[in-house]
Amino acid sequence: MSSGPPFRAEHVGSLLRPERLLKARAAAEGNQYRQARGPLHYAQLKEIEDDAIRDVVRLQEDVGLQVVTDGEFRRRSWFQDFLLALSGTEITFVDSAVSAALPFHDDSSVDKLPGHIVSVKQKLSRNKGIFTDHFAFLAQLTGRTPKISLPSPSMLHFWGGRAAIDSAVYPDIDEFWDDAVNIWSAEIAALHAVGCRYVQIDDVTFPLLCDPNGQAALRARGDDPMATLRTYASVLSRIAAAAPKGMTIAMHMCRGNNRGKWMASGGFEYVSEVVFQHVAIDHFFMEYDTGRAGDFAPLRHVPKGKRVVLGLVSSKTPILEARDELKRRIDAAAKFLQLDQLCLSPQCGFASNFMGNPVTVDDERRKLALVVETAREVWG
């Protein structure tokens, strides 16, 4: 097995919240939109979060994973908590004419198009560590490799484009990107200072750009999809270049994951050359659990020395994949990228927001164990 990170058997990060944590968070928050105060104080919620995280660390260790996360149990969603912790951001409604969001859907239903985004209304600033305390608590619970995930700064721009970044505050969009790079770099440096050596940047924008509907949404508001792709690649490269020595940076890419539904379809070909050869990140988690992700041919663009974590196991469904089928698909990927450059994981987290996917904790455990067992058989 790989000494990692990334390890041959990986997972993206978010895990199903236990019922007691869901109830506690609801009690603590009350109705946040009416700013009503819930009956449970945050100190009590934190105690319940702490206990739940201890349990989920044991779950990961018990199935044999060498990488451990806190399940993102202190977050409402994979991206909003971080973005809204920055000074200068707020949730706003977005005009459908400029929105690049695609509706979440599954094989039988389509959700209403998301109507709100995180916008930038003042100069961005980071007044303190955002996930540093989260990491410090996690690190003391395990002797394995703790990982923390951060949303990509592209999440501040992609959904609403230039309209999401107040032009009176940032008349020069490059200044916005400079501030974003500095903030993400500062958070990664602060994580390093408290012992973190493994950070994953989560980004759905690259796979959404692979969907012709995603490209059309950008063109409709006057943005060039390929120019947007190159801008995001440059921003991520600057963040990775500023990372402290010894910090492993990975990037996760998926097509949306919300209670078992997805946003986009389309193979990685449109973005593969730019992402693999021009983003200065060496490790890529890639959604490959269904035919919506296309074939493995885009992996031919991955340079030597970089790794791809194949997301072949679905976190969206309770159906357990057949081990032989996973091994067959790994062999198929190895026709385009050397086996030694490949790893295995679920395609995304099990709970990108606090509500989670339509699977049980037992389903989650079996799927994580399957990843570990299959990786052991493939790589030893």
Q: Tell me which residue has tokens 């200044």.
A: 175
**25-75 pLDDT, tens per residue?**
888 776 343 344 445 566 788 999 999 999 999 999 999 999 999 999 999
362: which residues sit within 8 A by CB, 6+ positions away? none
- Please spell the DSSP secondary structure of 87-145, one letter per residue: EEEEEEE--TTT------B-SS-BPPPP-EEEEEEEEEE--S-SSHHHHHHHHTT-SSE
Predicted local confidence at residue 119, as pLDDT: 93
> Residue 57 and residue 297: Cα distance in Å, rounded?
36
Predicted local confidence at residue 353, as pLDDT: 86
207: which residues sit within 8 A by CB, 6+ positions away? 253, 254, 255, 264, 266, 268, 271, 287
Q: What stretches in the chain show pLDDT beneath 50?
A: 31-38
Predicted local confidence at residue 36, as pLDDT: 42
**109-163 pLDDT, tens per residue?**
665 556 678 899 999 999 999 999 999 999 999 999 999 999 999 999 998 999 9
Structure tokens at 87: 């000074």
